[in-house]
Structure 1
Amino acid sequence: MDAAIELLRTDKKTDQHKPAILIASDGDIVVAENPATRETLRCAFNELHRHFGFFLPAAGMTRFKAADENEVDVRATGKLARLYDALLKLNPDWGTPERRHELNQFMTRLIFCLFAEDVGIFPKDQFSRLTVNHAGHKGAEAHIAITHAFQAMNRPASEREDLPGWTHEFEYVNGGLFAGPIDCPVFDAIAWGYFRDSAELDWRDINPDIFGSMIQTIAEADKRGELGMHYTSVPNILKVIGPLFLDDLDSDIDKAWDKPAALERVLRRLSRIRVFDPACGSGNFLVIAYRELRVREMKILDRLKALKGETQGQMWSSISLASFHGIEITDFAAETAKLALFIAEYQANSVMEKMFGAAASPLPLRDGGHIVCDNALRIDWEDVCPPPREDEEVYIAGNPPFLGSTYQSKAQKTDLAFVFSGQVQSYAAFDFVAAWFFKASNYIRARPAKAALVATNSICQGYSVAALWPHVLGEDLEIGFAHKDFKWRNNAASNAAVVCSIIGVRNRSGAPKRLIVGGNDFAAPNINTYLSNGPDVVVAADRKSIFDLPFMDYGNKPADGGGLILSTEERDRIVSTHPEAAEFIFKYLGSKEVVRGEVRHCIWITDDNLERALKLSPIAERINEVRQFRLASPKEPTRRMAERPFEFDQIRIRPGKSSLFIPRHTSENRPFLPVDLVAPDTVSSDANMVLNGAPEWCLALIASRLHLVWIGTVCGRLESRFRYSNTLGWNTFPVPKFTEAQLKALNASARDILKTRYLHHPKTIADLYDPEKMPDDLREVHRRNDELLETMYIGRPFKTDTERLEKLFKLYAARVEKLKPNKTSKETA
């Protein structure tokens, strides 16, 4: 059938009509090919229906392909995935936990051989030619041939007496890749066909940094729909390892550029650098770090050649794969990381040979990267990456998994407890990534070592700051650099992005610190644990404002099973038959109602009017519903409130005064926090924070850029959305001592904001504060409000958010220091 596909491929009619799919079958097996992508399918005829997606192009539908994919990587991964599936189907015992490692190791060895015969490590097509020649009809004896080939590669030629003579063509490979027991799964015609398809690819252009992650998905069937889309991009990796150590190396190279002795010192330094990724996946970070160090090594050697007028005596790299360490919990990914480093080494050596006319022989392989398959939170990192010896430097870099406590599995919560129990009191709500920072800090402390990890922003916001960072930094570590608030994307079709930060931790020193925000890279005197240029303070929650702002509290929680809450239609039905019921029905707003302009209502009864309310049957029926709901609750406090079913379970703010409602959770995309002034006959749900009867100037504060930046920095987030906190955000918000004239001006500014909104009625806050559609006049009135307020802080508007935070943290630190002797109400966040 391969011959039939080849005939179809070369037929003039194929070129003329350009069919979407070529297909051939002998009645038992189907072979199909997409001429545009050269993607191949092999399956039993009776399983054709399972491969519907492959034939979509025949219906005029294209399959998604990410723009940055390397065609060779994608095709290779697709073919290997099909081979993997075919082998598992034929050898189900290889899919058991006991044998899965063997299958993963087999695939890794196979990929190495296919790469080696295309790039010149082996003679051209040596591996595929010899195995095909001795695999029997339709691959019936392929497992025997491949086993013999792998065994030969693990032995010097003099130790192959018990192997077939044809295996003597293979050179001794060594390097641990073929060490240990060697077995091979059985092939059938379909699996053998996929092997031959893979062998026909040109493997020279494989990108080890990308391909490593791509082949990891081979063993993860749930990710097959996104092959090639789950890897950390090179630019993102460089955001970590650049400030961590590459930029410093580049500075040293620039300073030494015309000084041979100084360049040779940098060369020696390169050889003593070790890189450790304790969540290495399929090796992306390690591969890029290795490649970048090799680039700099060759740059120095080339410069020394120019300065000295001769080629250096060094003909191979002094940067060893043994200097690259990793921990990965997934077996196949760990094996893949080793292979990716082998490939990266060979490709770097090929470049070196072109530059200098000589390079180390690729075989036998030397020691590879030290990649351990284990749980990074359970093992001692020093067993994987020994502490640096004299003149050595260790850099920990990576992208550990980040998962909020809600999304952690039971096993992950146990891992978190294993790391923090007995050392940190409140860790249950930590993001999973926090454990890597804690272990990294313990590793680098008092050593020539640094660490930089990607993290979700949650560990630098809200509760986590006070609970985690004092234990990470202690008195002897500091944040040396931070890349704050950027979207970490992959190339998946959904292109989902998580707002992340990169945090570099080091031993305290006088070296400059770097803060990278919004593409701006600048020196910072200090980087605090909020990743801001400011003093080392931890913003602690407080029950009342430490700057004497009006009291803010939650709205009210009904815990009523819906009995006290009414839609507009339900309210109208009740009032139409019982007009006197209007006395007991109030407008009811949660966060959605504030933002989207929706309206609900609630029954609001006090002890004073309860007797009248119970005479109205629609009201009495609903009160009885609430009583039954509360009596059935598993919570004892809720059952107690069944004694008062006519009122909300938790009442914090009673209606009767004009109030400001601030939604507790809101989109991070709006340029200002949503806040609205509501009438006295309005009840707030607990989805809002409420300033009851507060002066108008409070709206000018809340709707300012200053306040948004503060809330976004010190409060926690729900996913990426702002989570507004009264105790942590409003009660800590630094303000200067306003004069009466200033408060009057802020009152007027607040009214201007409200008036301008009303000019666009019936547009809602969601409509008006859409960043793409915000009306110009509303944007201008907010600009004037910011200018007015910020001038009260420093005599002019702030230039950047960084400058805003710097001032706010200074004010906060000074206030806390001033209040220390009399402080009694503080509670840690």
Structure 2
Amino acid sequence: MNPTEIADALDQIARAPFDAATFGFSFAEATDNSVAAVSKLRSGATNKSDQPNGVLHGTRFHYAPALPGLTDVTLDALRTSKRSLKSKPAILIATDGLTIAAEHPKSGDTLHCDFADLGTQFAFFLPAAGKDRYKAAEENPVDVKATGKLAKLYDALLKTNPDWATPERRHDMNLFMTRLIFCLFSEDVGVFPENQFSHALFSYSGNKGEHAADTLIHAFTAMNRPKADRVGLPAWAAAFEYVNGGLFAGAITAPRFDPIAFRYLRDAADLNWKLINPDIFGSMIQSIADAKARSELGMHYTSVPNIMKVLGPLLLDDLDAALDKAWDRAAGLRAQLLRLSNIRVFDPACGSGNFLVVAYRCLRDREIRILKRLGELEANPQNVMFSSVSLNQFYGIELTDFAAETAKLALFIAEYQANARFADVFGRMPALLPLRDGGNIHCGNSLRLDWDQVCPPPLEGEEVYIAGNPPFLGKAKQDKNQKADRDFVFTGKIKTFKALDFVAGWTFKAGNYIRGRRAKAALVSTNSLCQGASVPLLWPTVLGDDIEIFFAHRSFKWRNSAAKNAAVICAITGLQNVSTAPKRLFDGELETSVPHINAYLIGHEDVWIKGKGKSSWGLPHMAFGCMPYDAGELILSPEERATFVSSHPRSEKFLRRLMGSQEVVKGVERHCLWISDVELVEALQIPPVADRIERTRIARLKMKDKAGKALAERPHQFREHIAPTHHAILIPSVTSERRPYLPVAMVGADVIASNLNQVLYDAPEWCVALIASRLHLVWIATVCGKLKSDFRYSNTLGWNTFPVPKFSDDQLAQLSVSARRILKTRYQHYPKTIADLYDPDKMPNDLRQAHRDNDDLLETMYIGRPFRNDTERLEKLFKLYAARVKQGGK
């Protein structure tokens, strides 16, 4: 059974009358257990449960029926059951037919829901079917549990209080959760006395949470008032300390709890919040309230290793070098202490505060290192009272109010934990309450706000570092408000900008902020900003003559630590005012020191590669293939072609093989109608051909764009009607990054190339040797855009700009022979397709050798020997391109 079938089966159980004695067997059937296995359970042969009417199915599940209202008690009995402890079932499940209480013993994850929701909660029960529920996150397991439990509490509260799910009250709900999390954390780490909040909550809220809302309102109100101003509150509330800090300011309210929500609240309170990872605490909280950002497990956040890819080269590596240099000099170390107090970190798209929290923690860690070392160097070290690194040094802008409030709370958590480490070393820490300001976090539109007003320019002795991971949205995914924000940033500053990714707005503003100041910036972006047409559009204005890229991470997969481990292909660019110091270029695990990094993230001078209508080096003209624009009416499958020819043999003269990218790479077979104007009268005499032409005409008339409607006047043809005289060389427009070489095919005059290919019509064979080379692949990968991580081939940007030396006739003849060898070697492996042959793990040795020989031959024509690596290849190509530009591009 697949998960959908399991969901349907569980839903049927939920809809049927509940029978405590048979539920366990029905559950076994619904969770993909064989008929024989269920029969053995029913007979008692394999049922080893020690619970009345219980069912224990090996390592799958242990079920026991509960008395009305006692599902939690029965679940506790299953937890301590000797048979459960011995068999270690994946699921424990107790139900009274009204509610369900279940648990994954291995992870401690729990579920409390109505019996009627059994089917909708099917994902929780998949382990009973031997199926994984999720891939465990490689992070602190307490973070995982906390997120999952809080997410369930959040959903349960919204179900019980649907009015709180409305846009008008969503802020109230999010603020309530923030206050609640603060209290749960505070009582575990010593801000409050141990279990003070939980004790009050579960003592005065009733057995099923019927008074929980009033209890929480009383507690939060007490925390918002000095102890002398608590008239009207119950006596037990007097014990709470005054919190302040804005967290409990404003209206205080709480949603109504039902038994299920109250159960989830107990589960959350049972966690040890002291173990929460401060680096991702903010994102963990934010994901609770954001269904789009929350997987089943409930976590989507940026991992600390990825954050360090930004903060390390931007700031921390320089700090560490300075500390090492001053390590044996007390005066030098004190200078570094002063420097730490003058550093400001600004994240202009801070979300829930990940970058700021990690930066704060790292500065505090270095401060402790310095202070400990000073204690070793000085006979009478100065008394250390508390940290000189303040949350006031951290600035952020966030569009959503809940995320902004969460960032402040996350910074408070980070401050508490840093203070606790400080106290472990030096024996003292500042007073915990009342709260102080939690960082300079502004709720607003970062692209509209004046960053100088949020994070004032650095004064004498101050340094500002901009760091973050702004939102990635391509042109097609930007809504009207985002496009308006983009226009606000770029209008009047860059002529053409509408094709840029949304993240470009932050890069542009970061460059403007740091210009002429003691400031640097490093932002994560999609790699599209450093490829293709985006480079000449954006970067000349960002960099100008006074800003440079001082470090960069070339394209890599930016993975988060969520259960589903989403990945986006990203780049990181670090910006600073021009300096003579060497620059750092990262490519995977490799770091290279170079004198300059250009916007393509190559160690070369600045070059802006723009698309050209024809090759600057005299290469044959490359064109788009023919676009059908036909709603599929002019295209035929092999079966449709056979039917045409069988019923109307005359139609064969109007049929051609059609090849797009899938046909070239995967060997897919398709055909098309191909009719010249002079053949139209004859073609219309064939009924199925005439029918296809008429359907094409109607389809084009219905198209919204003018180009489609105009083509209705010649419905017998594709938009372009171009066929080769002798042969054509086809290059798919998009190809997988995994292939070691770009796919290219040479086809006969009987083949029509679709617009999903770039085409060289009747071009010489040596062109195949160029396109099939490693040299050409690295050029395309660098100067053309990408579709996700796949190469996107462009005739204007890739082929027409590709630098080549002046080949002699003899060299062209050698390249033609090399091209024929590659094609012949492929044919010898027929019927394997390009997809088969160019799988890097399965590429035949003879084909791999043919390509290596081709590379050696071609590269020797460039520099007299093969290149050592791709870096050397790109350096040579960029050098040739730059020289041609200086000559006027001729």
Using the size of structure 1 for normalisation, the TM-score is 0.93
2:744 matches 1:686: no
Q: Could you tell me which of 791, 798, 805 is aligned with 1:729?
A: 798
The 2-side partners of 1:60 and 1:641 are apart by 56
**Is the 2:395–2:454 Cα contact (8 Å) retained in structure 1?**
yes
Corresponding residue for 2:249?
Answer: 179
- State the shift of 1:335 in Å: 2.2
The 2-side partners of 1:59 and 1:773 are apart by 36
Inter-CA distance 659–5: structure 2 relative to 1 (3 Å threshold): closer
**Is the 2:280–2:354 Cα contact (8 Å) retained in structure 1?**
yes
Corresponding residue for 2:291?
Answer: 221
Corresponding residue for 2:812?
Answer: 743
**Is the 1:104–1:331 Cα contact (8 Å) retained in structure 2?**
no
Structure 1 ranges of 4+ moved more than 6 A = none
Inter-CA distance 690–798: structure 2 relative to 1 (3 Å threshold): same
Inter-CA distance 354–779: structure 2 relative to 1 (3 Å threshold): same
2:402 matches 1:317: no
Q: Could you tell me which of 569, 582, 594 is aligned with 1:512?
A: 582
Q: Read off the aligned partner of 1:742 and give its amino acid letter.
A: Q
Structure-to-structure mapping, 1:424-439, within 5 angstroms? 424-439=494-509
Q: Could you tell me which of 451, 473, 483 is aligned with 1:413?
A: 483
Structure-to-structure mapping, 1:165-314, within 5 angstroms? 165-314=235-384
Using the size of structure 2 for normalisation, the TM-score is 0.87
- State the shift of 1:153 in Å: 2.5
Counterpart of 1:538 in 2: which secondary structure? Answer: coil
Spell out, residue by residue over 1:278-307, the C-alpha distance to the aligned partner (whole angstroms, 9 max, x if none).
222221111111111111111111111111
- State the shift of 1:615 in Å: 5.2
The 1-side partners of 2:208 and 2:269 are apart by 15
Inter-CA distance 159–59: structure 2 relative to 1 (3 Å threshold): same
The 2-side partners of 1:592 and 1:62 are apart by 34
2:821 matches 1:786: no
The 2-side partners of 1:771 and 1:474 are apart by 41
Q: Read off the aligned partner of 1:740 and give its amino acid letter.
A: D
**Is the 1:66–1:229 Cα contact (8 Å) retained in structure 2?**
no
Moved more, 474-483 or 42-51: 42-51
Corresponding residue for 2:764?
Answer: 695
The 2-side partners of 1:226 and 1:704 are apart by 45
The 2-side partners of 1:220 and 1:49 are apart by 23
Corresponding residue for 2:141?
Answer: 71
The 2-side partners of 1:512 and 1:323 are apart by 29
The 1-side partners of 2:582 and 2:561 are apart by 34
Corresponding residue for 2:823?
Answer: 754
Counterpart of 1:523 in 2: which secondary structure? Answer: strand
Q: Could you tell me which of 736, 747, 750 is aligned with 1:667?
A: 736
Counterpart of 1:138 in 2: which secondary structure? Answer: coil
**Is the 2:288–2:298 Cα contact (8 Å) retained in structure 1?**
no
Corresponding residue for 1:342?
Answer: 412
- State the shift of 1:507 in Å: 1.6
Q: Could you tell me which of 862, 867, 885 is aligned with 1:798?
A: 867
Moved more, 777-786 or 61-70: 61-70
Corresponding residue for 1:773?
Answer: 842
Corresponding residue for 1:809?
Answer: 878
Corresponding residue for 1:91?
Answer: 161
Q: Read off the aligned partner of 1:278 and give its amino acid letter.
A: P
Counterpart of 1:430 in 2: which secondary structure? Answer: coil
Q: Read off the aligned partner of 2:635 and give its amino acid letter.
A: I
Moved more, 208-217 or 574-583: 574-583
Corresponding residue for 1:500?
Answer: 570
**Is the 1:662–1:676 Cα contact (8 Å) retained in structure 2?**
yes
Q: Read off the aligned partner of 1:785 and give its amino acid letter.
A: N
Q: Read off the aligned partner of 2:750 and give its amino acid letter.
A: D
Spell out, residue by residue over 1:407-427, the C-alpha distance to the aligned partner (whole angstroms, 9 max, x if none).
222222222222222322222
The 2-side partners of 1:679 and 1:687 are apart by 18
The 2-side partners of 1:628 and 1:184 are apart by 60
- State the shift of 1:325 in Å: 1.5
Q: Could you tell me which of 583, 607, 620 is aligned with 1:550?
A: 620
Counterpart of 1:362 in 2: which secondary structure? Answer: coil
Corresponding residue for 1:471?
Answer: 541
The 1-side partners of 2:270 and 2:193 are apart by 15
Spell out, residue by residue over 1:464-484, the C-alpha distance to the aligned partner (whole angstroms, 9 max, x if none).
112222222223211111100
The 2-side partners of 1:8 and 1:126 are apart by 29
Counterpart of 1:139 in 2: which secondary structure? Answer: coil
**Is the 2:525–2:571 Cα contact (8 Å) retained in structure 1?**
yes
Q: Could you tell me which of 124, 145, 151 is aligned with 1:54?
A: 124
The 2-side partners of 1:566 and 1:771 are apart by 33
Inter-CA distance 620–181: structure 2 relative to 1 (3 Å threshold): closer
- State the shift of 1:385 in Å: 1.9
2:777 matches 1:708: yes
Counterpart of 2:802 in 1: which secondary structure? Answer: coil
- State the shift of 1:26 in Å: 6.5
Inter-CA distance 283–685: structure 2 relative to 1 (3 Å threshold): same
The 1-side partners of 2:165 and 2:647 are apart by 69
Corresponding residue for 2:598?
Answer: 528
Q: Read off the aligned partner of 1:418 and give its amino acid letter.
A: F
Cα RMSD between the aligned structures? 2.4
Inter-CA distance 390–17: structure 2 relative to 1 (3 Å threshold): same
Q: Read off the aligned partner of 2:729 and give its amino acid letter.
A: L
Spell out, residue by residue over 1:627-669, the C-alpha distance to the aligned partner (whole angstroms, 9 max, x if none).
4444555555545544444443323x43212221111122222
Aligned residues: 820
Corresponding residue for 1:826?
Answer: none
Q: Could you tell me which of 818, 832, 848 is aligned with 1:763?
A: 832
**Is the 2:294–2:300 Cα contact (8 Å) retained in structure 1?**
no
Structure-to-structure mapping, 1:586-665, within 5 angstroms? 586-607=656-677, 609-610=679-680, 613-614=683-684, 616-651=686-721, 653-665=722-734
Inter-CA distance 309–27: structure 2 relative to 1 (3 Å threshold): farther
Inter-CA distance 276–632: structure 2 relative to 1 (3 Å threshold): closer
Q: Read off the aligned partner of 1:187 and give its amino acid letter.
A: F
Moved more, 118-127 or 328-337: 328-337
Higher relative contact order (CA 8 A, sep 6+): 1
Counterpart of 2:216 in 1: which secondary structure? Answer: helix
The 1-side partners of 2:302 and 2:853 are apart by 42
Q: Which runs of 5+ in 1 are unaligned?
A: 824-829
Corresponding residue for 1:827?
Answer: none
The 1-side partners of 2:119 and 2:638 are apart by 52
Spell out, residue by residue over 1:437-488, the C-alpha distance to the aligned partner (whole angstroms, 9 max, x if none).
1122222222111111111111112221122222222232111111001111
Q: Could you tell me which of 201, 206, 224 is aligned with 1:131?
A: 201
Corresponding residue for 2:19?
Answer: none
Corresponding residue for 2:181?
Answer: 111
Moved more, 419-428 or 456-465: 419-428
The 1-side partners of 2:90 and 2:681 are apart by 78
Q: Read off the aligned partner of 1:766 and give its amino acid letter.
A: A
Counterpart of 1:285 in 2: which secondary structure? Answer: helix
- State the shift of 1:518 in Å: 2.8
Q: Read off the aligned partner of 1:794 and give its amino acid letter.
A: I
The 2-side partners of 1:622 and 1:125 are apart by 77
Q: Read off the aligned partner of 1:757 and give its amino acid letter.
A: R
Identical aligned residues as a percent: 62
2:220 matches 1:150: yes
- State the shift of 1:492 in Å: 4.2
Counterpart of 1:53 in 2: which secondary structure? Answer: helix
Moved more, 51-60 or 805-814: 51-60
Spell out, residue by residue over 1:81-133, the C-alpha distance to the aligned partner (whole angstroms, 9 max, x if none).
22222332333333333332222122112111111111122221112113333
- State the shift of 1:262 in Å: 0.6
